[in-house]
Amino acid sequence: MNARKSEALLPLLGIVGLVALWSLVAWREWVSPVLLPSPLLTFKALWHGMDGGTLGFDFVKTVYRTAAATAIAAAIGIPLGIVLGSIEQLYRSLEFVIDFFRSTPASAMFPLFLVLFGVGDETKIAVAAFGAILVILFNVAYGVMNARKTRLLAAKVMGASRLRVLFDVMLLESLPQTFVGLRNGVSLALVIIVVAEMFIGSQDGLGHSVFEAQQLFDMPLMYAAIFAAGALGYGLNLLFLLIERRFVHWSGK
């Protein structure tokens, strides 16, 4: 029991170690305090920022944009992935195009999307959705294509029609891979949103917050905003993982 308890505490070790090292460096002033404020100062900035400060508002803005982009990407990417995956010739004929745009940095699309959508929220959300769609679509299509042949055959031999096989077997078979796509998709969407908030005429959002703090040389606030962004990324990933564990209980078994 004791051994298991200490096992569970292992992940905390890294956090404690990092904060200790950071405190030491800040306390001994090995790095100029202007560049690296102490953990306490940073935490204070994070606390005040999130508790009624602008950081909390920026955080909510970024959550909204990321969620919108991911929702749009899922709504388009999942059905499209299923169609492409179930018609393998169709996927093969589009594979190069998908791979090409999947490999294109979505940030390279900013100018194009600015022309198309203007400087509002739409542009940020659209670029992030564009990047996430391809990731989600690719994973869903592969999930459908890699459905276990025996399982498909089993359904067929029991007399299932093509449509039945698609809905009763392929769709469920592809769910674990779909969640891989969603997790990657939401991470990518967050990256794109934060970059967009920094550089394309944004008045709010975590990206804007980091950038502005840097411009004002408010280092504690800058670190706080970075941590907020990190926590958001980690939290979104965790959220999808929990949803997956709840609804795709057979994943990996």
Partner 1 sequence: MLSAGAAAAGSAKRPHVTIRGLSKRFDATVIYDKFDLDIPRGELISVFGPNGCGKSTLINMIAGLIPPDAGQILFDGRKLSDIKFGYVFQNYREALFPWLRAFDNIAYPLKLENVPGTERHARTEALVAHLGIKLDLALYPYQMSGGQQQLVSILRALVVEPEILFLDEPFSALDYEMTLFMRQQLQRIFAETGTTTMLVSHDLEEAVFLADRVLLLSRHPARVAAFMSVAAARPRTDATLSDSTFIHTKAQCLEIFQREVRRR
Q: At its nearest, how many Å lie between partner 1 and the CB of residue 240?
A: 18
Per CB under 8 A, which region of 6-14, 50-58, 158-166, 228-236 contacts partner 1?
Answer: 158-166
- DSSP assignment letter at 35: T
Binding flags for partner 1, 171-190, as an x/- string (CB under 8 A): -x--x---------------
- Contacting partner 1 (CB under 8 A), which of 92, 162, 164, 245? 164
253 binds partner 1 (CB under 8 A): yes
Q: Which amino acid is present at 76?
A: I
250 binds partner 1 (CB under 8 A): yes
Q: Rounded to whole angstroms, how far apart are CA atoms 24 and 39?
A: 10
249 binds partner 1 (CB under 8 A): yes
Extract the tokens encoding 212. Answer: 């502005």
Q: At its nearest, how many Å lie between partner 1 and the CB of residue 183?
A: 20
Per CB under 8 A, which region of 6-14, 85-93, 163-171, 216-224 contacts partner 1?
Answer: 163-171
- Which residue in 60, 70, 64, 39 sits closest to 228, CA to CA? 60
Rg (the chain; Cα; Å)? 22
Q: At its nearest, how many Å lie between partner 1 and the CB of residue 159?
A: 5
Q: Which residues contact 28 (CB under 8 A, 6 or more apart)?
A: none
4 binds partner 1 (CB under 8 A): no
> Following DSSP, what letter does each residue of 138-190 receive, concatenated?
HHHHHHHHTS-HHHHHHHHHTT--HHHHIIIIIHHHHHHHHHHHHHHHHHHHH
How far from 199 is each of 23, 69, 74, 125, 204, CA to CA, in Å?
32, 18, 26, 14, 11
Q: At its nearest, how many Å lie between partner 1 and the CB of residue 170?
A: 12
Q: At its nearest, how many Å lie between partner 1 and the CB of residue 169?
A: 7
Per CB under 8 A, which region of 1-9, 24-32, 146-154, 221-229 contacts partner 1?
Answer: 146-154
Residues contributing to the site for partner 1 (CB under 8 A) = 148-151, 153-154, 157-160, 164, 168-169, 172, 175, 248-250, 253
